Structure 1
């Protein structure tokens, strides 16, 4: 029986199920993107325990060290910031996710990536390797706060890997990736850039292989607000991602998934996605 869609089209749902990802244009208005941008740029000027720890002495000037020391990624800002919570649970995003999950969505994680000029990218990986959602998998909603293209290091996706099992990663090239895990592109497939304008959202399956190259520009950030979600039928999730939140802001606390995953405990040392 076909589930009746409430927000996206049948063609969009088919795209998501076949390729593992879907770009939805203009999910957020310019005014909403401005609010997100100004909120996180303001937060970037302070140390927020458990969420964000910039080295405020670092400079973005070319050749003066790692720009990610000044602008590292922000983890779980919804736990300390109302604007982050507001947009993680944005009704339009939650409705799209309900169509993709075929059930109501629960928010598991929020992140903000600044990706300043010259910053390294993130090696190819799979999100559910870290979130450990059971049954099924998670879905990411990757919002372009700045226009994202190949020059400033937009996301790369490997279509049709959404139905693959989780791969055991190899060690990433630290010169190009700020994270340590790397998943090879399966034979016969290739990574493709997802080009987004401000306010567009890329939704993708938690088993989809994805990552990014460095920001090659000298004067453009590639800021993005990224959230991960599970379906309401989720019974287990990694402890770092609990509690989950319904669209109305109420908490849900599924069983903590203590399984070390398909590759053993040695891989749990990676900082949570």
Structure 2
């Protein structure tokens, strides 16, 4: 799957669990690989759940109304999956996705690199079938702002992720400055409707392709520059489950600011506490986000 040179380059970033070496590597490079984050049974469970999502068995998916109105009974599971690029917030309606959001092996690493109190606010189930686009260079903190730079992603490969099928590429160390680079709209056919970060002091030649086997997770900092390219169409799906975490001590100024809320106390409360205590538990939690489909350019970027 991976060249010897590339594999050796990634071996230095690969760990089986938390510890001082993992923390040091994460701090220096902005990412680590967690070997065997999911076992074979867990992989099969979330792949099966993806089909149920795409067949509408778990309820409405906003942005996929055309699919919901169609009869998928005559379609194979693969053809049903191919109608989607990514489903946001699967944990809101799926017990399987919620269990993986709280997965002990992943949460143990999150408490190691974030701190003892950790909450989550987002999950994403990427399908990315043959020919479907990737995402341009971006930083997750642009989309999910925290108050303490604690945003951390767990990107879990549900299929072997390779250069050919559109694996992640990362710019090691690009998180260190802790700044968000300029952004712009882009019309590159290799990418979906996402914005593109630019004018940063790195080059494409500095990037590392993160080719990993199914079940491995890449844990990365919210300021790390990363992207993915098109699935070349030669080897089927490149499915992945991505969950986002942050410190429970941080407010989450996400979504629109309510009219009666001071900007300093803006706090999105549709969260799941996965470890420790929530200092803001007195605020309660809300059920705001619903599962929705991410459009690629063919789906119309005006829907995004």
Q: TM-score, normalised by structure 1?
A: 0.80
CA contact 2:153–2:245 (8 Å) conserved in 1: yes
User: What is the match of residue 168 of structure 1?
Assistant: 182
* CA deviation after TM superposition for structure 1 residue 53, in Å: 1.6
* CA deviation after TM superposition for structure 1 residue 211, in Å: 1.2
DSSP-derived class of the 2:138 partner? coil
Q: Which of the two has greater helix per residue?
A: 2
Q: TM-score, normalised by structure 2?
A: 0.73
Is 2:251 aligned against 1:246?
A: no
Query: 1:180–1:160: structure 2 CA closer, same or farther, 3 Å change rule?
Result: same
DSSP-derived class of the 1:225 partner? strand
* CA deviation after TM superposition for structure 1 residue 187, in Å: 3.0
Structure 1 stretch displaced more, 27-36 or 184-193: 184-193
* CA deviation after TM superposition for structure 1 residue 115, in Å: 0.4
- After superposition, the CA RMSD in angstroms is 3.1
User: What is the match of residue 78 of structure 1?
Assistant: 91
* CA deviation after TM superposition for structure 1 residue 69, in Å: 7.5
Is 2:68 aligned against 1:53?
A: no
Q: Give the whole-Å Cα distance in 2 for the aligned partners of 1:113 and 1:44.
A: 12
DSSP-derived class of the 1:99 partner? helix
Q: Give the whole-Å Cα distance in 2 for the aligned partners of 1:242 and 1:249.
A: 17
Q: Give the whole-Å Cα distance in 2 for the aligned partners of 1:54 and 1:250.
A: 39
Deviation by residue 1:219-270 (Cα, 9 ceiling, x = unmatched) = 41000000001112112331386411112799856999xxxxxxxxxxxx99
Query: 1:83–1:192: structure 2 CA closer, same or farther, 3 Å change rule?
Result: same
Contiguous gaps of at least 5 residues in structure 1? 1-6, 60-66, 257-268
Is 2:53 aligned against 1:40?
A: no
| Large movers: runs of 4+ above 4 Å | 248-256, 269-272
User: What is the match of residue 98 of structure 1?
Assistant: 111
If you compute each CA radius of gyration, which structure gives the higher value, 1 or 2?
Answer: 2
Equivalent residue in structure 2 for 1:10, among 5, 11, 20: 20
User: What is the match of residue 27 of structure 1?
Assistant: 37
Contiguous gaps of at least 5 residues in structure 2? 1-16, 73-79, 257-267, 287-300
Query: 1:50–1:132: structure 2 CA closer, same or farther, 3 Å change rule?
Result: farther
Q: Give the whole-Å Cα distance in 1 for the aligned partners of 2:229 and 2:238.
A: 12
DSSP-derived class of the 1:123 partner? strand
Structure 1 stretch displaced more, 39-48 or 11-20: 39-48
Q: Give the whole-Å Cα distance in 1 for the aligned partners of 2:65 and 2:33.
A: 31
Aligned length: 247
Is 2:120 aligned against 1:107?
A: yes
DSSP-derived class of the 1:237 partner? coil
Query: 1:211–1:110: structure 2 CA closer, same or farther, 3 Å change rule?
Result: same
Equivalent residue in structure 2 for 1:193, among 209, 223, 232: 209
Q: Give the whole-Å Cα distance in 2 for the aligned partners of 1:102 and 1:187.
A: 30
